[in-house]
Amino acid sequence: MASEIASLALGSSAMPTPDAEVTRLLAIMARLRDPQTGCAWDVEQTFATIAPYTIEEAYEVADAIQKEDWPGLKGELGDLLLQAVFHARIAEEAGLFDFADVAQAISDKMVKRHPHVFGDAGTRTSDEQTVAWEAQKARERGGRTLDGVALALPALKRAEKLQNRAARVGFDWPDIAPVLDKVAEEAREVADAATPDAREEEVGDLLFVCANLARHLGVDPEAALRRANAKFERRFAAIEDRLSALGKTPSDSTLEEMDAIWDEVRAADKRRPSGADKA
């Protein structure tokens, strides 16, 4: 068996096919996890130790997409696929399930949730399918409205999902005006908070209602914050470049000097085409 796995892992020079390459990847993981001849690091890993890498790889996929780095995306998708293979291998060794079970489960779910494609539910628009998808997921979940929103999600994304769930059962503001009022109210409460614990709670409330504001505006709060982060990085780099040309660094410059450069860069940004800061 070991020699068979080794042979599969090495692959061949033939034109790659999906079946052959998935089989090869599974063989590579099996060899890496072999207690006698594998990699010590890979052998030591568990579901819990690998989970952070899985999350990181998903973000790197999103980053490549945002940058429109298509060659990079190929590599990042491979890294993410490796995570699924890694978890499936650990599960197989524990007698829980294997990669085939994982693939079968998602295939069965896709067929079940697309009766308009694989059944006789009739044609649906994209919006109709979204509603039907969420209704099907709710039936499968059972229990309470907010059950099943993953705790490991980024807090901002999880806030959006919790709010969407509540909105589907009618717990939502009717329009944007009261949301804006609530943002102002929460900002005042942040200013009035007198202890570290109170400040943390009030900032959390403010961030939560900001996520709700984004939802009412049809804005993805995670995407919006990523865009703001990129804008800040670009503008601060411009400050460093300007200071460097003067033989200075931020640490030996005044806030007034840096603010003046920031204002110049910000003004230049306003003249750039809309959306140019997404790069």
Q: With a cut of 70, say whether residue 111 has pLDDT above it.
A: yes
CB 53 within 8 A of CB 83: yes
Distance CA(55)–CA(75), nearest Å, equals 16
The pLDDT score that the predictor gives to residue 277 is 53
* pLDDT digits 0-9 by tens, 38-47: 999 999 999 9
Q: With a cut of 90, say whether residue 183 has pLDDT above it.
A: yes
Distance CA(160)–CA(208), nearest Å, equals 8
Q: Where are the alpha helices (DSSP H) in the chain?
A: 2-10, 18-32, 40-44, 47-66, 70-93, 99-112, 115-118, 126-141, 155-168, 176-192, 196-216, 221-245, 255-270
Average pLDDT, the chain: 89
Q: With a cut of 90, say whether residue 100 has pLDDT above it.
A: yes
Q: With a cut of 70, say whether residue 166 has pLDDT above it.
A: yes
Q: With a cut of 60, say whether residue 278 has pLDDT above it.
A: no
* Full set of structural domains in the chain with CATH: 2-111 (1.10.287.1080), 143-216 (1.10.287.1080), 221-278 (no CATH)
* pLDDT digits 0-9 by tens, 61-90: 988 998 899 999 999 999 999 999 999 999
The pLDDT score that the predictor gives to residue 106 is 95
User: Which of 57, 5, 53 has the alpha carbon at shortest distance from 26?
Assistant: 5
CB 250 within 8 A of CB 239: yes
Distance CA(174)–CA(270), nearest Å, equals 33
What are the structure tokens assigned to 206, written together?
A: 């403010």
What are the structure tokens assigned to 270, written together?
A: 């306003």
Q: With a cut of 70, say whether residue 18 has pLDDT above it.
A: yes
CB 50 within 8 A of CB 86: yes
In percent, the amount of the chain with pLDDT more than 90 equals: 68
* Full-model pTM: 0.65
The pLDDT score that the predictor gives to residue 135 is 74
